[in-house]
Structure 1
């Protein structure tokens, strides 16, 4: 059994859905689990709707635009009498019901934003079946069990694996399901973190003992840099799991950070292939050794630098570091870079305004706190002399750190 994952770009419009269906058609001769993300920029649009609901602003115009976007796709793909049109309208109507329920902010986020994947998979499954390939729509929430940490839910692996024992590939050869979502023990929809559909593919693969996972992207494979920033970026033919894991840790967006661990532990290879040209070999990530890897360059935007300075000129010690790390842990904020001096501790994190403001408020009880936003963290792994010198000399460097193999510089964007 194989797992395929298609991202938002691969189902962003009607021609893209047709292309995705053609890839499924070419591979549906064996058992296949197809994981699909929300279409195009749907998640961003749903986030705007959630923010409008929370701030008690009108969200109907944004909702109508998003509904029209999906219905335009179904109108291109299906005849007027096809039931998919009503199914899509029903999903959008449910947002009005969700908007008046008593949810916390993060609970509301997960109930609304998760609908992007419901919409995309209903359309993809219907189109694949219309073309003669028998694929069953599967609700991932029935199989991926999580805790109640909304927006960043943790998977209950034992419960998920038990639930998946009911999936029978002898009866159904192909399933189409959602990335990014699960269900908590209280019955509410949860999400696995932004861009979490890759992780979903790994969960299904691990629990179902898949032979491989293939992520279909708009790039020819895993590259040593973002080709939009560095056009001379090259494609890796293969990568060790360890190298790929470090890439995702530093912010390489081609694979979700949580994806590698379950696959590596189960020995399931991960392939990254191009959906525009499926014949390209792509990149194979597996247990291997690759000598002389070129420098890997990762840009991570929307960073925030926070500096905590002691107020009485005592040195930063373990007790004060404990206060900082406790505050970070309570808000589930991950440090991307950190550095300390005698009387201050500085660290770089992703900027999510609501969480960062809560963090700063907490830290101000103990420290003088300074922060800068709108920064970019550049990580160069396996640097050589040329890249080391080049990135150290970038304009606006606010923080720099290097080890034997990795250089990180934080710059004003």
Structure 2
């Protein structure tokens, strides 16, 4: 399309460059008209990087003249090009053509001593074609999705991680994301229903049953234990979407009486220790410091042991003390329901909330604060846990039913 030679894209921006650029834009506009979207043109400049759209051909031309093309954009996959003679392009690029301007060359992040421009060899016969096509499609999909997740970078980051993480340890053919896409493609292409997907009836390692199956009726079955997880990140974001709640989140910093007396959790030495240890975290008062608490309950009001329900909740210590333990601000995050309590295996059920808390601490989430009218990157730290002694043993893994059951006293525990 429009000739094999693409050296003009990264050469001197002279009359020849402008002529070829106009040809490129004309073709792009024609291509977009065929798809009914000529008013939104994908911009391949070095800044937009094929991830943003411009409203007209003139704006596209201005971007490319001022900023140049994104590096190594030799196959115009976002502008209507489907097939391309990569071997011909490789030969043309390796004929010794150089940039006429060193500054322009370095602007694209290339080494001035590297005369040839690297070309992807995904079409090499020595590679597995199916794997290459699949990998290319995932890369293109991730580029396309990034535009839709500008306001939710943590979700996009999860997709990025899943696109790189093997489906299982040692798997080289599929990632977690590509495996799901492969199954979904097969499902859509062949009209599969959910019945085509088999479900394990027991744990592959411990052979424990997964379902309660009534005698003589294998079709009717219910899980032995069920976990409900109410995602915490969207609810954290909503705190700052409400003006009053957003102001409450700053109360500990702006309105608390700081006379050295212990009136609020923020007056505690632990709060100050966190601020000193992690100054970047402590420097933003809107960063969250939740407490985790859990215990088992009997929802039926009897002493029967036929059913157990465990609740895992978060309490936000940024709030004023008269709101901290109000039901409106206590976040129920996990509810574990089953015939027996989780015991020391509670860590298995805590995995979803632990994953979100790690994401909040390591990366944070982009949040719009309606009180200040601006965005900020909000991390969170698990400030502490509060629970009774048996629940403490389950959460920490500490053995309580011994002669050294006190985790504080340790070897000095007094027992009879």
Establish whether TM, by shorter chain, passes 0.5. Answer: no
| TM-score (norm: length of structure 2) | 0.21
Greater relative contact order (Cα 8 A, min sep 6): structure 1 or 2? 1
Structure whose residues are more often strand by fraction:
1
